A and B are shown apart, each in its own frame.
Chain A
């Protein structure tokens, strides 16, 4: 066994040397560390989805340090290996192989976007390594794949939550303006699919590109469509902020505007400014932690996370970082439950997650449900006076 290890180390050294001589560069990972549990993460820390990957990265590092300071998991320290895919699915796929083959991680918490997640899934399924994704789209867990889980609410749930609210206000004619990035396109498709269930008719549909800076043309067309009672904007990043500002510019604020859970961070309110007033959106309890009643089981978790994150990152908390928090602790609990760092056993334990209180909701997974959240995990919020408020059910 020892000899085998030595041999492997030698081969690694030779590989590095040849890597240097042939490619002109070293492609050497860190050497073996014996008594740690390795958790991998591929995140979009830079690039167009950095507003997802950046808080996820900060959250994982913050809490792995905390866990290790408190003695680690089952007596072992956690070693976190993070790679930045820059939002590029092809790069993410290579880093997935690197985590599996080179770093030999027990499990992975990562995959900021649906695009990078879907590209990495084949690698993890084949290697039988559990993968807890932080991406939004429902296709990550539907159909269920043995080794793939996810923590964020699905885009389908967001549509349902919005439509439920529209139905309560007896609105039926709705216009939709969606981003053409992965998030917007996927949510748009889900919304079109479930609209009928709520008696909602989509009477106008517009899109905008991920880097567009002006959506007045699209909104003007919606404004000119007769009978629009509400507008829904599936999108994330800066796009929805610009939509919201243009919306106010065109004097459309009389018609209710619904954003998605893709804008669930304070920076949206900051960017959209006074135009954000009156905008509604479905979001996790995290955003309104301090406004939750004390009886709410999530209150303790979300308030603690918010304080810890904002103290360390010096920026407002977002639900995106919260998804990483949930993923990390579902995994840590599973490792504790399995009392082992064996990928297969950890996978079985993740699937048995029951009543886990996270920032996104209360998670109960099963062999047929690798998300474990229901609609109650979403709260309908309205922005008032530059802050989130919980709206009363039925209004």
Chain B
């Protein structure tokens, strides 16, 4: 009897070892996917604005911050969570539109780098505003469906991770249907393909650009709302989000929505796999080295358009 038990436990440990490495990988994988989904949403925001207006919007991370912070403060004021989230999206969209009308549209025709500086100014402005309007503390939101982790083949996954992944998938699908199946969406695509031609066929490109800023703000805010229960939020989370989102968008190929999603997920995976298998200290470095290597091999990103210089 005792012999049998020892035998069993040894076998169990043996299997456990292999099982552990597999579950370890799955843990890394799902963590990376969750983190990456958020990057993907931020990158999608970058892409939408870039396509419509050629602007790289470094204030994109501030929309994520607004999504989280407004929801936190609205629900602290007694507003039910779904309504608070809706308010947050509306606030972010309003800020996105104001950003376009007050800062981007008046600077039409300025060089790309000048407009980048404007968006960086906007990012500092919004952060400064949030610090006054809210506070400088970190905040959390309750998870949408509890904190009890779900076991997937030995990996513990928070229910909120599925919300983040599902939300990202939904956002991508809605955006796809909007761009491909609606008239307004097609106008956005036309504007991104050739602004002059779009204007010639009667598309109001200014409206399209405003639409892109509003939509991009909404996507950012959704990302912020979905992820705050996991990552917490504060007035200054936007900078890091913008940095990672921009990297993801470039990795996937600027201007390609699918590329943004692929880039985001890949960046998230690179970070967690880097932390898990390489070194947690150098995980950001590992991710950026991989980005550099990919860009050297594919100078337009993974799914970017090939462009030809026109004289």
Contact = CB atoms under 8 A, between A and B. Distances in A.
Contacts of A160: none
Interface stretch (B20-28, B112-120, B196-204, B246-254): B20-28
Interface stretch (B47-55, B167-175, B231-239): B231-239
Contact of A249 (B149, B273, B276, B281): B149
B230 A271 contact: no
Given A180-B281, A207-B281, A213 B136 contact: no
Contacts of B35: 213-214
Contact of A271 (B28, B140, B281): B140
Interface string B129-144: 0010001111110000
A251 B230 contact: no
A86 to B, nearest CB: 10
A46 B131 contact: yes
A251 B154 CA distance: 11
A134 to B, nearest CB: 16
Contacts of B28: 216-217, 220
Interface centre among B24, B28, B34, B137 (most CB of A within 10 A): B137
Contacts of A275: 147
Contacts of A237: 138
Contacts of A51: 136-138
In which size bucket is the chain A interface?
A: 35 or more
Contacts of B31: 214, 216-217
A277 to B, nearest CB: 13
B236 A241 contact: no
B138 A211 contact: no
B280 A271 contact: no
A318 to B, nearest CB: 10
Nearest to B237: A211
Nearest to A211: B240
Given A208-B280, A251-B156, A214 B137 contact: no
A263 to B, nearest CB: 11
In which size bucket is the chain B interface?
A: 35 or more
Nearest to A54: B136
B197 to A, nearest CB: 42
Nearest to A205: B280
A216 B283 CA distance: 13
Given A50-B136, A54-B136, A271-B138, A214 B230 contact: yes
A262 to B, nearest CB: 13
Interface string B266-294: 00000011011000110110000000000
A221 B278 CA distance: 11
A237 to B, nearest CB: 8
B158 interface: yes
A275 B28 CA distance: 21
Contacts of B20: 224
A267 interface: yes
B276 A221 contact: yes
Nearest to A213: B231
A47 B135 CA distance: 12
Interface string A187-230: 00000000000000000001111010110111011001000000
Interface in B211-256: 227, 230-232, 234, 236-237, 240
Interface string A6-32: 000000000000000000000000000
A214 B281 CA distance: 14
B276 A220 contact: yes
A271 B232 contact: yes
A214 B231 contact: yes
A315 interface: yes
A344 interface: no
B276 A217 contact: yes
A217 B275 contact: yes
A48 B239 CA distance: 11
A216 B231 contact: no
Contacts of B276: 217-218, 220-221
A191 B13 CA distance: 33
A274 interface: yes
Contacts of B139: 271
Given A207-B281, A214-B31, A224-B20, A274 B147 contact: yes
10 contacts: A217-B28, A221-B24, A224-B20, A238-B232, A251-B149, A267-B137, A267-B138, A271-B138, A271-B140, A275-B147
Interface of B: 20, 24, 27-28, 31-32, 34-35, 131, 135-140, 147, 149, 156, 158, 227, 230-232, 234, 236-237, 240, 272-273, 275-276, 280-281, 283-284
Given A209-B283, A224-B20, 12 more contacts: A46-B131, A213-B231, A214-B231, A214-B272, A216-B27, A217-B32, A220-B27, A221-B276, A242-B231, A248-B147, A249-B147, A271-B139
Smallest CB-CB A-B distances: 4 pairs:
A213-B231, A217-B275, A50-B136, A217-B276
